[in-house]
Amino acid sequence: MINSPKISIKIVKDISFNTSGCVKADLWYYGRFGEDFVYYERKIFFMNDKLLIKDLRSDSPKIIATKFCAKKSLSARGSLRDLIGCTLSLLNVRKGFVAIHAACVSKGIITILMPAMPNTGKTYTTLWFLKRGYSYLADDTLLVDKNGIAYANPIASAVNSKILEVVSLGTLKNLNLRIRSKLLKIPGSTKILKPYMLKTWKAVSNTKILEKANITHTCILAYGPEKVEELSNEQAVNIVQGINRYSLPRPYVNPVLQAYNFFNPDFKDIRDFDINERRILLSILEKTEKYIICSKGRWGELIENILKR
């Protein structure tokens, strides 16, 4: 199993923090230059909107937040979920891992990483391969180490009715998915209606989840006129990192971590995050065959044609 970084997260009623001797950044952030913490406090009527993050230089950072802060996302600090995701990203890159917004399947000696922008066809193509005996690692996001080893991340993914072209979920579930997919096309419906969440590995019987596998092929999925093009390492890295920037939390735009960096300007993990992520991506992708696969539904077939060469 992968030795994942650990973040201590506590949700409390209130935080008592002595700001004496602290420097204030903007209206809400407190810190001391060179000290491994940043404290956020914002007065909103009677609400305790407070957050403390510390020990970010260690492998076990601590985040303490009040209940209001944990539930309410404000532009002044963003969401707690984003802060946790950004902090995990920092720790993973520090240890030589990157999260990639991608699906991943494996069969025999072949392991296919399929990075893509959201709502392109990752789950659809994953199901196509699972129907053909491939094992599952991920269909949304997964960790890959600098040696090109992908680690399974079986989490439920939002899907639409297009997946019913390759798999049946059963009469009632099929109907639920079709209705939900149509309703979600109505402007504003996403505020009151959640997408259908699918545990992809359970949608195809006898699917095996692999704990880890060595990536042999990187096939970037795109939606559009059908085309298969081999990519150089530089081209592939540029596209994959662009997908990550669009799809995954970025530490250098999180307001809490920006405030931390203000008080700790020598902390390079945040400032150099893109550089370090790119270095690891280069190491991963140079070991694989790299293609961009453009289609409106036949990604699996086009990838299979590559494997037959």
DSSP for 24-62, written as a single string: EETTTEEE-TT-SEEEEEEEETTEEEEEEEE-TTSSS-E
pLDDT digits (tens, 9 = 90+) for 39-48: 999 988 888 9
- φ and ψ of 85, to 5 deg: -60, -40
pLDDT digits (tens, 9 = 90+) for 243-299: 999 999 999 999 999 999 999 999 999 999 999 999 999 999 999 999 999 999 999
Cα torsion for 215, 123, 139, 299, to the nearest 10°?
A: 10
DSSP designation for 95: T
> Which domains does the chain carry?
8-96+249-272 (no CATH), 98-246+282-307 (3.40.50.300)
Helix (H, G, I), strand (E, B) or coil at 128: helix
Cβ-Cβ contacts under 8 Å for 68 (sequence gap 6 or more)? 44, 47, 48, 49
pLDDT digits (tens, 9 = 90+) for 178-207: 999 999 999 988 888 999 999 999 999 999
* pLDDT over 80 (residue 81): yes
CB-CB contact of 78 with 185 (8 Å): no
Model pLDDT, residue 2? 61
* pLDDT over 90 (residue 3): no
d(CA 57, CA 37): 9
pTM summary value: 0.93
* pLDDT over 80 (residue 163): yes
CB-CB contact of 152 with 105 (8 Å): no
DSSP designation for 192: T
Mean pLDDT of 88-103: 96
Which class for 197: exposed (0-12), middle (13-18), buried (19 or more C-beta within 10 A)? exposed
Model pLDDT, residue 43? 87
For residue 276, how many other CB atoms are within 10 A of its CB?
17
Model pLDDT, residue 309? 82
CB-CB contact of 140 with 101 (8 Å): yes
What's the sign of the alpha-carbon dihedral 241, 244, 246, 249? negative
Mean pLDDT of 6-19: 94
Strands 97-100 and 142-145: antiparallel
d(CA 13, CA 230): 55
Average pLDDT, the chain: 95
Model pLDDT, residue 42? 93
Helix (H, G, I), strand (E, B) or coil at 196: strand
Cα distance from N-terminal residue to C-terminal residue, the chain: 34
* pLDDT over 60 (residue 1): no
Share of the chain above pLDDT 70, in %: 99
Model pLDDT, residue 17? 95
* pLDDT over 60 (residue 93): yes
* pLDDT over 60 (residue 224): yes
pLDDT digits (tens, 9 = 90+) for 125-158: 999 999 999 999 999 999 999 999 999 999 999 9
d(CA 306, CA 288): 13
Helix (H, G, I), strand (E, B) or coil at 285: helix
* pLDDT over 70 (residue 4): no
d(CA 115, CA 183): 28
**Residue from 190, 274, 191 nearest 240 by CA:** 274
